[in-house]
């Protein structure tokens, strides 16, 4: 889900580790927060693209350096601002937390091949220790007309859903360190019937997509790993299958972190 990383903080990291009040790779404050987001805390991840079988693709590795810059007011509510550096790209991520929930401000429409004409930037709960399941987004389209690159106008009817689920706890080892993580899943499901004209003939087809994203969270550290599956959105008809776009899968793995004292 995060798409902004980099090398710019690697030099800063060396300085930060020598500051008082900093805990590096497991030396946590005496009062452990489930989601520590104090200003100056940082996490460095390795991100690599993966194929449909989950294998890393050679030459795609990047470094994501994420640091907590402070707080900001968004729509009347306080949010934590996290700055991501990846090579020469800098991006801002906004998150909110409770004792048991981790929420990220996300544009849900960025992977869709059509514009739905409705607000799709909203707070998405990606980790919830109180609930086993929750709904992020659920809309029903009825005779909704959209343009697609290969066609003129397509009329869509059906559902677009994004749901969350707390799956399990899991022991995993990352960079030689053992963690007891809780695994969460965000699943994007598109099930639409499409009607359009092809060479002057009316055609009915289907658009379907199941695209899960997994997140591993560890108390006192936060996100230690995430993985999104490669998925292709297609328009399936009795005559032809039209590719509408591919969501590239990736895996993000924690390399190093430092949690600052409150």
CA angle 215, 12, 66 (to 5 degrees): 20
| 140, 116 contact by CB (below 8 A) | no
What's residue 110's pLDDT? 61
Give the distance between the most distant pair of CA atoms in the chain: 72
User: What are the residues whose beta carbons fall under 8 Å from the beta carbon of 168, sequence distance 6 or more?
Assistant: 182, 183
> What CA–CA distance (Å, rounded) separates 185 from 153?
34
Rounded percentage of the chain residues whose pLDDT exceeds 90: 47
Structural domains in the chain, sorted by start: 8-260 (2.40.360)
CB 135 within 8 A of CB 161: yes
Rounded Cα–Cα distance for residues 250 and 232 (Å): 14
Task: Work out the angle at residue 121's Cα, subtended by the Cα atoms of residues 52 and 127, and round it to the nearest 5 degrees.
Answer: 60
Q: Which pair of tokens denotes residue 126?
A: 């990606």
Contact 159, 125 (CB under 8 A): no
Tokens of 122: 């909203």
Least confident piece of the model among 12-21, 27-36, 49-58, 121-130: 12-21
How many other CB atoms are found less than 10 A from the CB of residue 240?
Answer: 11
**Strands (DSSP E) found in 87-132:** 89-97, 101-107, 121-128
Q: List beta partners, residue 192.
A: 158, 207
**Confidence at residue 181, expressed as pLDDT on a 0 to 100 scale:** 96
Tokens found for residue 79: 């949010």
3-state secondary structure 1-25: CCCCCCCHHHHHHHHHCCCCCEEEC
Beta bridge partners of 259: 23
Q: How far is CA 5 from CA 24, 90, 134, in A?
A: 20, 7, 29
Q: Strand, helix or coil at 110?
A: coil
pLDDT of residue 116: 57
pLDDT in tens, 72-90: 888 778 999 999 999 889 9
Which pLDDT tens digit goes with each residue over 213-233?
999 999 999 999 999 988 887
Which residues is 65 bridged to in the sheet?
Answer: 44, 85
Token output for 228: 């999104």
Q: What is the pLDDT of residues 22-31, one digit of tens each?
A: 444 444 444 5
Predicted pLDDT at 243? 79
Averaged confidence pLDDT in the chain = 81
- The answer to whether residue 167 scores a pLDDT higher than 60 is yes
pLDDT tens-digit map of 92-130: 999 999 999 999 998 766 655 555 555 567 889 999 999
Q: What is the pTM of this model?
A: 0.80
Split at pLDDT 50, 70, 90, the class of 251 is very high
Neighbouring-strand partners of residue 211: 188
Strands 153-174 and 42-50: unpaired
Determine the average pLDDT of the residues in 158-166: 93
What's the whole-number mean pLDDT along residues 62-70? 95
| pLDDT exceeds 80 at position 56 | yes
Sign of CA dihedral 127, 107, 109, 211: negative
| pLDDT at residue 21 is higher than 90 | no
Q: Give, rounded to a whole angstrom, the gap between the first and last alpha carbons of the chain.
A: 27
């Amino acid at each position: 889900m995060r798409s902004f990383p980099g090398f710019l903080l690697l030099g800063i990291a060396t300085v930060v580790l020598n500051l008082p009040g900093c805990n590096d790779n497991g030396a946590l404050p005496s009062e452990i927060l489930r989601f520590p987001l104090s200003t100056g805390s940082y996490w460095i991840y390795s991100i690599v693209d993966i194929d449909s079988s989950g294998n890393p693709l050679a030459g795609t590795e990047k470094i994501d350096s994420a640091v907590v810059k402070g707080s900001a007011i968004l729509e009347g509510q306080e949010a934590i601002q996290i700055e991501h550096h990846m090579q020469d790209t800098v991006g801002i991520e906004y998150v909110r937390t409770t004792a048991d929930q981790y929420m990220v401000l996300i544009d849900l429409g960025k992977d869709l091949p059509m514009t739905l004409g409705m607000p799709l930037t909203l707070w998405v709960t990606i980790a919830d220790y109180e609930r086993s399941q929750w709904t992020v987004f659920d809309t029903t389209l009825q005779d909704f007309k959209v343009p697609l690159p290969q066609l003129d106008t397509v009329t869509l009817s059906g559902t677009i859903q994004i749901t969350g689920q707390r799956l399990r706890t899991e022991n995993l080892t990352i960079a030689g360190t053992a963690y007891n993580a809780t695994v969460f899943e965000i699943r994007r499901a598109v099930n639409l019937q499409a009607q359009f004209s092809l060479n002057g003939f009316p055609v009915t087809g289907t658009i379907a997509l199941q695209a899960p994203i997994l997140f591993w969270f560890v108390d006192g550290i936060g996100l230690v790993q995430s993985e999104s599956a490669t998925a292709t959105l297609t328009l399936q008809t009795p005559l032809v299958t039209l590719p509408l776009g591919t969501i590239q899968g990736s895996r993000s793995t924690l390399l190093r972190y430092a949690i600052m004292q409150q």
